[in-house]
Amino acid sequence: MGWDTPGPGKFEANLSLNLSEALYAIVNVSGADEFIGSVDERGWYGIIRWFEGKSRHFIVEEDNNGFFTYREFSDMDDANKIWNGIVEEYYVEE
């Protein structure tokens, strides 16, 4: 296990502890660009569109057990397609 690999805990399902912590801080300080849900229900989801340097986009999730995960996309269209599917599924299940 490397120094940037998360151990057991909130970020354990992610590849990078540093990126996990940075995304979690963004969500809690300035918020995601869009979000849906609640950790008290079926989970909280957000999309972060990041354009500094190279284009990177993230879909983040925090589940009702407090685990925080992210998926990274280099293509905004791919990220938006997955995001729109999450939003559609969320509203269908209500």
DSSP secondary structure letters along 4-23:
TS--SSTTTTSS-HHHHHHH
- Name the pLDDT band for 3 (thresholds 50, 70, 90): low
Distance (Å, whole) CA 38 – CA 34:
13
Give the domain ranges of the chain.
Answer: 17-93
- The pLDDT of residue 65: 93
pLDDT at res. 94:
60
Question: Structure pTM?
Answer: 0.86
Collapsing DSSP states into helix, strand and coil, what is residue 58?
strand
